[in-house]
Copies of this chain bind each other. A is one copy, B any other.
Amino acid sequence: MTPRDVPRPTDAELAILRVIWRLGSATVREIHDALLQDQPKTGYTTVLKILQIMTDKGIVVRDESQRAHVYAAKESEQSTRGRLVRHLVDRAFDGSATALVMQALSTKKASPNELATIRAMLEKIEGERR
């Protein structure tokens, strides 16, 4: 029940997770095909193996009712992203999420639209504060 015991996904696992999140759930074949659209050519059995490992780790759940097993993510994309951010903040930003935000803002240029989104988020937070 606690998402704490789900380990952070590795890079290869995260690439697979992103496909699953996008599709909702998927078979090995579907994931493999989706990954082929991107740069790296990953073998079918490699994807299968990683999914089996992820099942052992509890990162995904497997529906075996069909011959082609269907995999789904156990944790939401939002929640996983949160854990990854928290880990980076702790490892490299002395626990300061603000420092990471500053870094991210200065690194990449955001569109006016995105800036407005961030601004709205700031106001929402400030609104909750008072």
Contact = CB atoms under 8 A, between A and B. Distances in A.
Interface of A: 11, 14-15, 18, 78, 80-82, 84-86, 88-89, 91-94, 96-98, 100-110, 112, 114-115, 117-119, 121-122, 125-126, 129
B97 A104 contact: yes
B88 A110 contact: no
B105 A115 contact: no
A119 B122 contact: yes
Contacts of A117: 98, 102
Contact of A14 (B91, B101, B107): B91
A110 to B, nearest CB: 5
Contacts of A80: 92
